[in-house]
Structure 1
Amino acid sequence: MPETTTHTLAATGATLTYDIHGGVIGGDATGDRVLFLIGSPMDASGFTTLASHFTDRTVVTYDPRGTGRSPRTDGATETSPDEHADDLRRVIEALGVGAVDMFASSGGAVNALGLVARHGHLVHTLVAHEPPSAQVLPDREAALAVCADIHATYLRDGMGPAMAKFLAVTSRKGPFPDTWADEPAPSPADFGLPVEDDGSRDDPLLGQNLIGCTGFEPDFTALRAAPTKIVIAAGQESSGELAARAAARIAAGLDSELAMFPSHHGGFLGGEFGQQGAPEPFAKTLRQVLDAHR
């Protein structure tokens, strides 16, 4: 692996930490654009495997505010996609390399769409993989209510019961019925999650990002007008799931074809967080997409 250097950057309400893998700030020794890999709330550690397939170019990863090494300094308990988008702007401008290529996963894809809508000159090609914007779904009212219920469950009962609902919701195939609240709640024990509430309420997914991320509505007019080449992608195994359905709707809103990538929502993972995707074919597909939009 190329040498990695770690940097910090002051932002409004947070200190951001990002890593540069190969190359240096101010230039990319390979001649290719810098490749920025982002998730949310997943931090830089989730891209270890994917980055290892791009050692021929400078790769940047970072910890979004409120996660990993990027602590919030304002005491806020929720983060909006607009805040994340502004953080991304700050990091890209600090790199000093002009427009970057960007692969953005899940909540990171939501935040990247917010960035491109406002600062498209900073991103040459964006591959937005499964942005979970429930706001764009035909069943948006039920889907948003389900997400609000997960958040309320977290605040009331803690991580285990809320995460069980989250896992059940994200793996569910097809639209949410208006009668979703009548369905029995999944048991945390069935997912190997703690049943007892430990009292903590600092989970970046369930507490900080869930409502803002799923409630995000893309600015299609601004995205279509941006200079960025935007590719919306979904996993081949994700058909019918919330994030994949949202990706298809966003692609349609941009008058573009949905790009299909190997595996599932975490298809680039190579064992990070105990999850296994298909990182080698995933990276090959990502490289092909980026090369097609040079």
Structure 2
Amino acid sequence: MTVKTVGRVAVPGAALYYETTGTGPVLLLIAGGGTDAAVFDGIVPQLAAQYTVVAYDPRGNSRSPYDGEPADERVDVAAEDALAVLDAVAGSESAYVFGSSSGAITAMELLIRHPDRIRLAIAHEPPAVELLPDATSARAFFRSVYDTYRRDGRLAADKLFLGGIGIDEDDQLPPTEDLPPEFREVAERMDANSEIFYAHKLLPFTSWVPDVAALVELEDKLVPAVGSESSKVLPAEPILALADRVGWDVVAFPGGHGGYASDPFEFATLLQRVLTGSLR
């Protein structure tokens, strides 16, 4: 049985919940959107055989509450949150980092700001649309999701957003009431994060403008990644555009935008190969 150790770290404006599993070099997993540490539960046991795996709930999500009223988030603050979790677990030790979706944006900013703390960062489908040659339509899409949320509420925004990132109704979980109790609790917890995500995270993260020159300087520490089933869908387009622009190879992980949950064994197996350098 895989044993998790739970911890909390205070940061300006929030208290971050994190879980640590396994032994070995530190591997930090950064969740995106309205998800939390549990979104990686399918891959953690396999990875924990080789690594000290750390996953946390981003500020405002689930068990990482804000200290006060929610406010629009900043990517630089998210990166410092990730560093605070690393400091709590690893001290000054450098770590491997895997981030998906907006978590990949956090991982890239963390690499830019603190390259000495990162051994390798895998950026899986960061929706950083300012990396696109022409971001006009992508900007408009995310703005329309935000406006739909403000005008028509979360369910309408969900339908527009999920369709736009390539997740249709067949890909989604069964109704919450049909899930086993242990999964129902997690699904309800993450579902409750949607309001914060649409109101305070969606636009700040998707409008992030990375320091491309810094990323190029750090190319030996950055692995661009997409899902094998989602490489032609919006969240994958920015990292593909960046890789094409600077001549990087891109790793295609099994599954789609959430391949770590849909294909956990295959996903973790490839991630282990990337971390050990056998694909580079």
TM-score by shorter chain over 0.5? yes
Q: Equivalent residue for 1:143?
A: 138
Q: What is the 5 A alignment of 1:220-259?
A: 220-226=212-218, 229-259=221-251
Superposed CA deviations along residues 134-163 of structure 1, whole A, max 9, x for unmatched, are 112233112101101111111121101111
Q: Once the 2 structures are TM-superposed, how far is the Cα of residue 224 of structure 1 from its aligned partner? A: 2.3
Q: What is the 5 A alignment of 1:1-294?
A: 1-23=1-23, 30=24, 33-41=25-33, 42-56=35-49, 57-95=51-89, 96=91, 98-171=93-166, 203-226=195-218, 229-269=221-261, 277-292=262-277
- Output the CA distance in 2 between the equivalents of 1:234 and 1:52: 22
> Any unmatched runs of 5+ in structure 2?
168-173, 177-191
Superposed CA deviations along residues 5-46 of structure 1, whole A, max 9, x for unmatched, are 1111111111111111134xxxxxx3xx21111112321010
Q: Equivalent residue for 1:185?
A: none
- Output the CA distance in 2 between the equivalents of 1:77 and 1:285: 37
Letter in 2 for 1:99: S
SS in structure 2 of the partner of residue 52 of structure 1: helix
Superposed CA deviations along residues 28-71 of structure 1, whole A, max 9, x for unmatched, are xx3xx211111123210101011021131211000000001100
Query: Which stretches of structure 1, 4 residues or longer, exceed 4 Å deviation after superposition?
Result: none
Q: Number of paired residues?
A: 256
Superposed CA deviations along residues 172-230 of structure 1, whole A, max 9, x for unmatched, are 8xxxxxxxxxxxxxxxxxx989xxxxxx9962321221101111122111122338611
Q: Once the 2 structures are TM-superposed, how far is the Cα of residue 255 of structure 1 from its aligned partner? A: 3.3
User: Does structure 2 conserve the Cα–Cα contact (< 8 Å) formed by 1:43 and 1:64?
Assistant: yes
Q: Equivalent residue for 1:273?
A: none
Are residues 104 and 3 of structure 1, via their aligned partners in 2, closer, same or farther at CA, if it must alter by over 3 Å? Answer: same
Higher radius of gyration, 1 or 2: 1
Richer in helix (by share): 2
Percent of matched pairs sharing the same residue: 34
- Output the CA distance in 1 between the equivalents of 2:175 and 2:45: 30
Are residues 77 and 202 of structure 1, via their aligned partners in 2, closer, same or farther at CA, if it must alter by over 3 Å? Answer: farther
Q: Once the 2 structures are TM-superposed, how far is the Cα of residue 79 of structure 1 from its aligned partner? A: 1.1
User: Does structure 2 conserve the Cα–Cα contact (< 8 Å) formed by 1:34 and 1:97?
Assistant: no
Which of 92-101 and 112-121 deviates more? 92-101
TM-score of the two chains, using structure 1 as the length reference:
0.81
